[in-house]
Copies of this chain bind each other. A is one copy, B any other.
Amino acid sequence: MNTDAREQTVNLGAGPSMLPTDVLLEASQGIIDYEGTGIGVTELSHRSSTFKNLLTQAENDLRALLDIPSDYAVLFLQGGGTEQFSATLLNMLAAHAAKHQGQGGAPPVDYVVSGAWSSKAYKEACRLYGPVRQVVDMRKNIRDASQPIPAPSAWNLSSVDENPAMLYYCDNETIDGSEFPQDFIHQLPEEYRQRVPIVADCSSNILSRPIDIRTHAVVYFGAQKNIGPSGVTIVVVRRDLVVDPDAVHTSYFPRIPTTLVYKNAVDNGSLYNTPPIFPIYVSGLVFKKLRKEGGVTRAQELAQAKSKLVYDMLEQHPSVFQANVAHAHFRSKMNLTFRILDANTGEPSDAEEARFVKLCEEHKVVQVKGHRSVGGIRLSLYNALTLEMAQKVVSLMQQFVKA
């Protein structure tokens, strides 16, 4: 297998993103002949014991990595994070209806908007359901050093007496480059935190630091950042919130298409219908590797070390670089976004950024352009990116500053 070109390339894409070479080398044999079965992994029946063992192992490794308690189910689903915008809402409305036996009418649902992805989730909730409350919009605050970021105690939360069906937030905003400080959500008023199911989209920072699953009702994440190839989305959901939506259906929320019903996945061990075998397989290899190499603790140390290299460069050269996230404690350790300034005007400059992108590409450091909606530069330093690769990127930033 030829890995020459690969070894010279540093892929900073925001997702789908780079995967460890040793994992891909194992997968390249696995798709031909999985562990000597004579059958490639994607040719296995999903009902075979061989595949079920693979799935169980992947789940167990993930449970160990994230310390997932046994009263939470782990689901391997399709449809991406975007499908979970709909599924989290609809399943939590069903869980609410089951708990309150349809009494009290349509409950409020609370959404924290902190960037592009949580904003999309909020819009989808508005499409599908009426009483949706945006409890805070911190997008401007995040970009403006003069505006403090509102603490959860200051959010415009629904009253717990209204029995909100859920609170939704996105832990790391891939496009904006912001990330909640770890356990930020613990600052919610205690009664609210204990009574309201909390749903977190952790697509772009899962496995890069610990997360307290027990604080949450649902933690979900698409694979294609820190985990594996696109095509699988993992949902961790507290079992007492998994209900049959048809048994509790009321007129205030729509019928849930069968593939979005968590109970179907729970009752069938993620085999309600044919699962996306390859993405699950590679995700399992990544889990195994991460466990062997120190787990989330080690991943967090690396994420801190790698991101510090870049953020230190930004701080040291304020006339060249400007972080998109003004508040240092809200800066993502996964997606580092910044603008490059024109030396004369001090304003962000598309031309300077193009020059930096070109320099990177000449050194085979690729996919450093910011998302088309925000422009600028985005360096995604996911788990598969080594410290050495981050050092190479920073040396190019250094070279750019000097030039």
Residues of A within 8 A of B (CB): 1-6, 8-9, 11, 13-19, 21, 24-25, 27-29, 31-33, 36-40, 42-48, 78-83, 85-87, 90, 124, 127-128, 222, 224, 229-232, 246, 254-255, 257-260, 272-279, 282, 364, 366-367, 372
A82 touches B258 (CB 8 A): yes
Are B32 and A24 touching (Cβ within 8 A)?
yes
When distances are taken between beta carbons in the complex, the residues of chain B under 8 Å from A276 are 78, 229-231, 276, 279
- Give A83 to B273 CA distance when docked, in angstroms: 9
Which of chain B's residues have a CB closer than 8 A to the CB of A246? 127
* Given A11-B43, A43-B17, A259 and B82 contact (CB-CB distance below 8 Å): yes
Q: Kindly report how many copies of this chain are found in the complex they form together.
A: 2
Complex A-B: 18 CB contacts under 8 Å: A2-B32, A2-B33, A5-B36, A8-B38, A15-B45, A18-B39, A24-B31, A27-B31, A28-B29, A38-B364, A82-B258, A82-B259, A83-B257, A127-B255, A222-B274, A224-B274, A230-B275, A230-B278
Measured in the bound complex, the distance between the Cα atoms of B124 and A40 in whole Å is 33
Residues from chain B with Cβ under 8 Å of A14 in the complex = 45
Contacts of A82 in B (CB 8 A): 258-259, 272-273
Note all chain B residues with C-beta closer than 8 A to A29: 1-2, 28
Chain B residue, CB-CB nearest to A128: B255
Hey, which chain B residues are within 8 Å of A127, CB to CB?
Answer: 246, 255, 258
Whether B15 contacts A274 by the Cβ 8 Å rule is yes
Among B25, B83, B277, point to the contact of A231 (Cβ < 8 A).
B277
How far, in whole Å, are A87 and B78 apart by their CA atoms in the complex? 14
Most chain B beta-carbon neighbours within 10 Å: one of A6, A18, A36, A46: A6
Q: A5 to chain B: which residues have CB within 8 Å?
A: 33, 36-38
Q: 15 other contacts beyond A18-B39, A82-B259, A82-B272, with CB at 8 A cut-off?
A: A3-B32, A4-B33, A5-B36, A6-B33, A6-B40, A9-B38, A15-B274, A78-B78, A78-B79, A83-B258, A83-B273, A90-B257, A127-B255, A222-B274, A230-B276
- Contacting pair B79 A279 (CB below 8 A): no
CB nearest neighbor in B for A43: B18
Name the residue of chain B whose CB is nearest to the CB of A245. Answer: B127
